[in-house]
Structure 1
């Protein structure tokens, strides 16, 4: 099993439970004091550079992260019992695109926060992605500030 996610018995669900408030200021680095617990993330993008950039940003914020090259790989990881707190999902990918993968994941009962990311800022792209079941939508490149806001939301802050 790779790092960055946890395997859960008895089906796939998002994380639950109580969250403690952050313990310290962020003087000691971006990952300390921001999150009340270690979060896991999945970066889904067919572009290797985009995957690495998003993974690096998340890692610097204390998120254990895995990568998938397309929506099918993301679905397969979740079907195998991997549970992620956050999934950054590209829109346009070969094999299975972001909206298709999001629909399948939601139908499987995956409750991870799914954030759609795309290089296109057209309203119809956003609408298609939102109707598939994503929780938020950002135009690439997603910023550190946006990621902090997303992670604080997941952490219950």
Structure 2
């Protein structure tokens, strides 16, 4: 096996004496560029541009028992409208959470942005109907006031979660 080691040692020394590290990097770079030019172009997604074009053509959902209803843009939980309550009031036997998270949702009917307060209704076991998980403009967990993955019933006497309401608390300014 000594002949094998001697052969590669002599070849390596010859290459090291006749070239520099910079020229080796240039050669490797040329090899990569040449290979990339010979490869076919990878496919890419053109849907992104079409999705924005289709936004204006979206059908406006006015059903407050559907997850696609505009007020539910940052909601994560069960809809109180399917559990015996309304869009802004808890079902009988439950109480509204003392803490809340907020989201800003655009009403497609009038084009205005609304500040929505999402309150959990607490005190009775989970409703289990009309579960929604929409996370538009959700923030990471360290910004608790705009994070929807927390049991907000923790401040109430009973921390049992039932459903979530979406009450409008403000209208955005139309300053452009």
TM-score range, shorter chain: under 0.3
Instruction: Give 1 or 2 for the bigger CA radius of gyration.
Output: 2
TM-score by length of 2: 0.21
TM-score, with length taken from structure 1: 0.23
